[in-house]
Structure 1
Amino acid sequence: MIFDDIGSFPLPEGITREWVNANLNTKEYAEMVKRAFLMKVNAGVDVPTYPQFRDMNEMFLDLIKNPKYQEDVYVIRREYARIREVEAILEMDVKAMRVCITGPFELYYKEFGPVIYDDALEKIGISISRFIENLDSDVVKCVSLDEPSLGTNPELQPTKEQIQLAYEKIDFPGDVQIHLHSPLFYTEVLDVEQINVIGIESARDEKAMDFVDREDLESYDKYLRVGVGRSDIDGIIAEYNSKHGVNVWGDSEGMMRAIDEVESPERIRGRIERAIKLFEDRLKYIGPDCGLFSFPSQEHAVRILENINRAREML
């Protein structure tokens, strides 16, 4: 059972996304990325994702759409299909990393809307495969395709053939996850050979686990990533405020107490135990439900990671 995280992470105090975009290729930004990555390592994450400080769509589309980098429209030349944050982290002595890449359907929807044209989808899929081809598989142990709209956006209804088309060019020797925000779509990707780990969010709503059938996973030789720590910080603090009749928003210590109470290691351990009971050896990864960018500070985001690690140690 491997502990990972989805990727996004709070910016340091005083830093904005505008600053990040303006300083992307500077040493200062590289050092900022390295420090955040090491925070995840020190919190106990086995396979941390590079800290995703940028917009998940723009960071890939800006490269894919740049005429200077294109082999064809929406097809990036391989030498330019690189992730700045990953390259910064590889300057360190890193043993294991997870790389989050925005999925082809999410990028397509952002660019074109819900009507799917196969030729455009295929080109975006090729570009995504080139980002993956450039990764160092000795360090990158897992690639995750982030597809939040699949199963949650009723406008986006790809066919089986389009699902195959989107992912068929992916070739990676390690684990390839798909991060779904709804478990309802998992059956649609069972027969995609390029994906071997299906990620679901179940910490905020544990009933999500009930929608996944272990026999399906065994039949198609798939594994599961289960979200066991909540990432909805608004909901966590609202629950704490309601229970205690207080308002800890803006109170750093109070928000830390809210995380420790609402997402205590004991509560998280219960979710892990339930996932183990339901999925047995098909459970391969655990971590937070989603990214942690909305947390009020990096220290608060680290706390949820530490609590997940403590929960795992309690098993």
Structure 2
Amino acid sequence: MYSSDIGSVPSRIDTDIIRSGARKANSLLPFLGVSNEDYVDFEEAVVSSFIDKLKVGVDVPNYPQFRDMNEMYFELMDGIERIDGALHVVNGIKAKQGAAIPETEAIRREAREIKSSSERDKVRIKVCVTGPYTLASFFQFKTPSLYLELAEALADILEVSMFKNGSAEISHLSVDEPVLGFMNDPLLDYGSDGREALRKAWDKICYVAKSHGADTSMHLHNTSENLFWDAEYLDIIASHVGDPLYTQESVKERLEETDKRLWAAIGVTQFDTLIENYYVAQGFTGNIPEKIGEVWTGLRKATIDPYIFLEDTGLMRKRLNAVSEYFGSERIACVSPECGLNSFPEYEVALECLERASSVVEDFNSDTVG
């Protein structure tokens, strides 16, 4: 098993600069060698943060995700119009000509420097794309064909973004579907066209990664909708700490039937939850929301140490042991904190969380081999 991460970390520069620089990435400026301050700052933020993830021990880091996970993909597509807050399809959705994920392009261009700085023999990269079900939730009218159009565009973007060279390679794709399973969706009724269209949509995206030799996973926040088991080109299933996925006998059976594996979530990542858990463990019985607000005031004023709220490696190892003992270590492919870290108060605190989780995986692998 290898350590990874879900993607997001706090940005150290203004997010407007990040967004502006990312938009410049798919222009001709980088290829013509034309300097643009926002693009240079964007690339530096992505590359330096990716190197930081490698240096704290993450085996296969996701590109640092500083932007909104939905908007960053809509920006790479044509045929979408926003009317009164909702999105509408206009003459069909397609990927923009030659569109690639700006973050992966930044890493590709600086792959040699990343390899040198991280002292890795080969740099392996995880790419996350926001799934068609989640993107479709922003549209006024959702249809089975919408899933397929979005998937076609995402597959084209991914095809342009995939790379492998002497210094680095994209070795893992995650399809992120955080809104799946939270409501009863008639489009996903058993036997419906929508259900079959979504399965095909997932496979269309995953096939691109598989054709390039990459592993594939799906990151979920809720696993009550079980369609993911039917995706042929999906290898690995991931959810959050406490999800029934990690404790059910039926999951063990489905893993065997489908020859899929699990992504073990070993750390809580919502910082408000970490604050709550800390004070509950201290025996606090007062108003939790009020206490959380007080803590954030203290964090902003630098009068409270944010590191005291981080989970220790012992708790993370306990979670990993539990999942491994229940399913067998051979069924655990990847390990990380449960979700992105953009809710963390500081960039360095997020890195500490990643370092702790990665050290747990390293120690687990050493103990298993030993």
**Same-fold call, TM > 0.5?**
yes
Q: Please tell me whether residue 169 in structure 1 is matched to residue 196 in structure 2.
A: no
Q: 2:144 touches 2:187 (CA, 8 Å); kept in 1?
A: no
Q: 2:236 touches 2:260 (CA, 8 Å); kept in 1?
A: yes
Q: Please tell me whether residue 22 in structure 1 is matched to residue 20 in structure 2.
A: yes
2:150 to 124, 127, 137: 124
The gaps in structure 1 that reach 5 residues or longer are: none
| 1:223-302 correspondence to structure 2 within 5 Å | 223-244=261-282, 248-249=295-296, 250=299, 251=302, 254-259=305-310, 263-280=311-328, 281-302=330-351
| 1:196-215 correspondence to structure 2 within 5 Å | 196-202=235-241, 205=242, 207-211=244-248, 213-215=251-253
Match of 2:45 in 1: 32
Q: Please tell me whether residue 75 in structure 1 is matched to residue 94 in structure 2.
A: yes
Matched position secondary structure for 1:309 = helix
Which residue identity is paired with 1:11?
Answer: S
2:173 to 143, 148, 154: 143
Which residue identity is paired with 1:209?
Answer: Y
- In 1, the alpha carbon distance for the partners of 2:146 and 2:92 equals 9
Q: Please tell me whether residue 188 in structure 1 is matched to residue 207 in structure 2.
A: no
Matched position secondary structure for 2:224 = helix
- In 2, the alpha carbon distance for the partners of 1:146 and 1:252 equals 36
Query: Percent same amino acid at aligned positions?
Result: 29
Q: Please tell me whether residue 154 in structure 1 is matched to residue 184 in structure 2.
A: yes
- In 2, the alpha carbon distance for the partners of 1:123 and 1:313 equals 41
Distance 1:168 1:243, change over 3 A: closer
| 1:110-121 correspondence to structure 2 within 5 Å | 110-112=138-140, 116-121=142-147
- In 2, the alpha carbon distance for the partners of 1:156 and 1:289 equals 29
Distance 1:235 1:76, change over 3 A: same
- In 2, the alpha carbon distance for the partners of 1:20 and 1:100 equals 18
Distance 1:29 1:268, change over 3 A: same
Q: 2:79 touches 2:94 (CA, 8 Å); kept in 1?
A: no
- In 2, the alpha carbon distance for the partners of 1:73 and 1:160 equals 21
What is the TM-score with the length of structure 2 in the denominator? Answer: 0.76
Match of 1:55 in 2: 68
Matched position secondary structure for 2:98 = helix
Which residue identity is paired with 1:75?
Answer: K
- In 2, the alpha carbon distance for the partners of 1:253 and 1:311 equals 27
Q: 1:176 touches 1:194 (CA, 8 Å); kept in 2?
A: yes
Match of 1:86 in 2: 104
Number of residue pairs matched by the alignment: 302
Q: Please tell me whether residue 305 in structure 1 is matched to residue 354 in structure 2.
A: yes
Q: Which deviations, in whole Å up to 9, do the C-alpha atoms of 1:137-191 show, x marking residues without a partner?
A: 5600100011001112334752431222322423222111111111323x31112
Moved more, 98-107 or 237-246: 237-246
Matched position secondary structure for 1:295 = coil
Moved more, 209-218 or 190-199: 209-218
Shift of 1:309: 2.0
Distance 1:137 1:160, change over 3 A: farther
Q: 2:247 touches 2:323 (CA, 8 Å); kept in 1?
A: no
- In 2, the alpha carbon distance for the partners of 1:271 and 1:215 equals 21
